[in-house]
Chains A and B, each alone.
Chain A
Amino acid sequence: MVRNSREFFRKRKRQRIPSLSPIPSYRLKLIFAILCAALLGLIGRMAWLQLFEGSYLETRARNFQTKRIEPLGARRSIVDRKGRLVALDEKRFRLYAHPKQFKFSGDSSGVIRKPVEVARRLSVPLSIPTYKIVDILGGQDSGVKLAENLPSAVASEVRRLRINGLDLEPYLQRVYPQGDLFANVVGFLDYDRNPQAGLELSLNKRLSRREKVRKLRYGRDGTPLPNDVEPGVFYEDDLNLELTLDARLQEVAINALRKQTKEWKADKAVAIVMNAENGEIVTLASTPTYNPNRYWDYSPALYKEWSVQELFEPGSTFKPINLALALQEGVIQPEDSVYDPGSVNVGGWSLGNWDKKPNGLIDFAKVLQVSSNVGMVKIMQKLSPSRHWEWLEKLGVNEKPKTDLLGAVSGQLKSRELFINQPIEQAVASYGQGFSITPLKLAQLHALIANGGKVVKPHITKGFNLNKALRSQGNLKNSNRLFSPEVTHQVLRWMESVVENYGENSVKTENYRIGGKTGTADQSKNGIYSSKICSFVAILPIQSPRFVVVVAIDGPKKPYAYGSTVAMPVAKKIIESLIVLEKIPPATKNNVLLSSKS
C-alpha cells in the first residue's frame, strides 16, 4: 500500500513537472480584486441608498406602512326616555368604478377586464341589471359612481368579488327610525351632514363625536404597530343624547292630532305633555310635520317647530292663571262669588261672554266652569292694572322661556303704559286676550299651578347618558315660588270641578282626578280676527299633580269649533295613554287610604 502510493506519487511528480507550471499568483490576486471591486461597489450602492436616498425612501416606506384613517364625522345617537333610537348613524358605502384598472384576482398583469365582465359579476350583489351597469360605466376611464347608499352587507359582498378597479367609500348616513315622530324637535342632517333644524342644529357640537385623524403604522397583515401613536387616538365614547320624550306617547299624540286636524280642516296642531315637577317634556307632537329621512319632499317652512315659535292668544285657558294671581294678591277669597250680568262695559267697549248669556251670581269654580268672561273681568278689576301687568311680566309672558328647544320665542305683552292707561287692556287680559304666548309657555304657566307655584324649565333633553354629570339636575332647586301652594291647590280644585262638570266624551276618566280648562280664542291676523285657535289644558292627577297636557289646534274651518270640541278629544286620547304609560295610580278611596297610611 505504502509502496504503491509512493510509486504513484513519484509517477505523478515526474509527469507534472514538465507539463504544469504553477498558477501565477497575479491571477489569484485578480480574482480577489474582482471580488473586492464588487464589494466596494456594493458599499457605494448601500451608501447611496441608506445615506443619500435614505430619508426619501424612509418617507415612502412610512407612507406605505401608515394608514391615515379620516374620521367619518360620526354623531351621537339620540334616544327617547326609554332608550328607543330616534336618530343614529348608519355606515353606508358609495361604489366607484375605475374601468381602466378592471382586473379579477389571479389575472396576470397587463390584463384589463371589459366593463361587461365586471358588470356581470356586480349585478347580483348590487341588484342592478348588467346592461344598466354597463350603461352607467359608459366609456369612462375612472371615477364612475356606480351606486350609493349601499349597506355594509352589500359592500362586503362586493369586496368578496375581489375585483380590482372598484372603490368602496364609506360614509355615514343619519337615519331617523321613528320617521316623522320627532322631526319637529330633533331636526335632521342634510345630504352634506350639516344640521338643519331642531336639536341636531342646537346641540350640533355636542352631538358630533370629536374624533381624531388616526395615523397608524400597520404590518401588511393589518396588525397595528405601537410606533409613534399620538395620545388619545383611540379614545372613543359611546354616549347618546337622551331625550325626555316618549316615542309611544308621541305617536299617540301625533295620530290624534292628525285625525283631528283632518276632521276639522285645521291648519296645524300641537300637543305638549310636560312633567310639572321638573319641566321634562314627555310629548311634543305637532302637525303638520315632515319625515327627516326624506326632508327634501317637504316645505322648509315645516322644519321649525311652530309650538315654540308662534304666538297665540291663550284665551280662556289663561283664566286659571289669572285667578291664581288674584288669589295670591288677596284681592279675592276662595269663598267669594262674582255677579255676571252677561256683559260689562269697560272704557266704552262692551265685553260679553262667549254665548252672550248672563250667568248671575256665581262662585269662582263656576266662573271657570262656564268660562265667564264677564266674571273674570270683574274679578281682575279688583287688582290694579299696574299690579296685574307686573304679575304678567313676573310670569314671564314677554320673556323667552329658558328651554333647550330651538328657536323658542318670547310672548308679546302690551307696554306697561298702555296696559295701565287703557282699562280695556286689563279687561281682555283677564280672559287671556290682548297678549300672546307660545303653547310651550302656556304649558309652563300651568305647571306653576300644578307644582305649587314653582317655575320649571321646559326641556326635551335629559343629557348625554353614561355621564351623570351632564344630566340636567332638578330645575326646582333654584326656582322661585310665584304662587303659594294654598293658592295653586285652590285653583286646581276649581279646575277639577270644570272637568267634573263635563259630560260624556270628555277627558273625565273614572277613578282619576283631572283638572282642565278649555280655550277658544279668535286669532287676529293683520288686526282682523279671522280664525280660531282651540286649546285645552289639563293637569293630572289632582291629588299629586305630575303632568300638564296642552293641546292647541289652530284654524279649524268648521262651525262649532271650540276648545271642548276640537282640542279636548285629543287631550283625552293622550291622557288615556299617559295614565297607562306612566303608570299613574287611580285615586280610589283605597289608594287614598294606602297613601295616607304610608
Chain B
Amino acid sequence: MDSFEVGPTMTITVKLFATLRKFLPPDAVKKAAILELSEDATTDAIVEMLNIPDGQVHLILIDGKHAVNGSPVHDGAVVSFFPAIAGG
C-alpha cells in the first residue's frame, strides 16, 4: 500500500454490517464508505485498510454476489462485509 510509485487506482464502496460498523472510517455515511485502492487490490486490502481484526469478516459480497477472502475487486464495486452474529 505504501509503494513509492503511485500506480493506477480504483474507487470502491465498502459497506459494513452489524458488529463491523465500528470499523467504518469517520467520513462514512451510514454504513458505507468510499475507498481508493490500488488497481490490483483484493478484499484483503480493504480489511487491512479498515483495521478489521482477523476472523471477524465472515461473509463477503461483491456487487451483491457471494465472494471470499482474497477475491479481486474492481473499480466501482460495492463490497459488503458481514460478521458472524449469534444473538437470539
Q: Do A and B bind each other?
A: no
Partner-B contacts on A (CB < 8 A): none
Partner-A contacts on B (CB < 8 A): none
